[in-house]
Copies of this chain bind each other. A is one copy, B any other.
């Protein structure tokens, strides 16, 4: 295991929120926990000067995030060249719907991480393989070792980008509604509706041999 730095991410002018600064966090355990409990991010970059935001899988290894894609895709082609690709990678968990007495104080309980920086294409073959395994394992822990590894043709078709965790902030809201004192007597229900992502019963592929059992890592 790489030893991870213990100090928090230093807030920068770009990572200090202008709104609700009390919800911001910069400590690594909070940031890592949010990143490690998701697998889908929204990746923003510029295409011909305009912002584009696409959902994509990612993985964290230590202080680096990895995303992958086809070598033919537009952002990955850009990252190959020169100074890399300026990106913003955002991960959001929704934990609850916050219903206040006032429309104004309606909110969402959430945990999010925003990473800004420069994504660069990974060329080292070992790092590429490790990153691709990590992306599979981020979706289902333990799955990479229980599947056929990428062959030479598949590796050649796959680009891997790395983004270092340098300019990073987390933001989170927890708890109940923040109603105004003068609204507390109003006749409206107020509270939180919990939200979570749940997993259904795994559905075997139609052509799966019946002799192959459900793996332990899916029995959660």
**Residue positions of A touching B, CB distance < 8 A:** 14, 18-19, 40, 42-55, 57, 69-70, 72-74, 86-90, 92, 94, 97, 99-104, 106, 108, 110, 112, 114, 116, 132-133, 136, 139-140, 143-144, 146-151, 154, 158, 176-177, 179, 183-209, 212-215, 218
Contact = CB atoms under 8 A, between A and B. Distances in A.
Contacts of A205: 176-177, 179, 190-192
Given A18-B72, A139-B97, A154-B104, A53 B90 contact: yes
A103 B147 contact: yes
A196 B198 contact: yes
Contacts of A214: 189
B110 A55 contact: yes
A147 B196 contact: no
Nearest to A144: B103
9 contacts: A53-B90, A104-B148, A108-B139, A179-B205, A185-B209, A189-B204, A197-B197, A197-B198, A198-B198
A192 B202 contact: yes
Contacts of A89: 53
A4 B206 CA distance: 40
Tally of this chain's copies: 2
A8 B147 CA distance: 40
A213 B190 CA distance: 10
A53 B57 contact: no
Given A40-B108, A51-B86, A90-B55, A195 B198 contact: yes
B186 A99 contact: no
Contacts of A97: 139-140, 199
A58 B19 CA distance: 18
Contact of A194 (B18, B50, B203, B209): B203
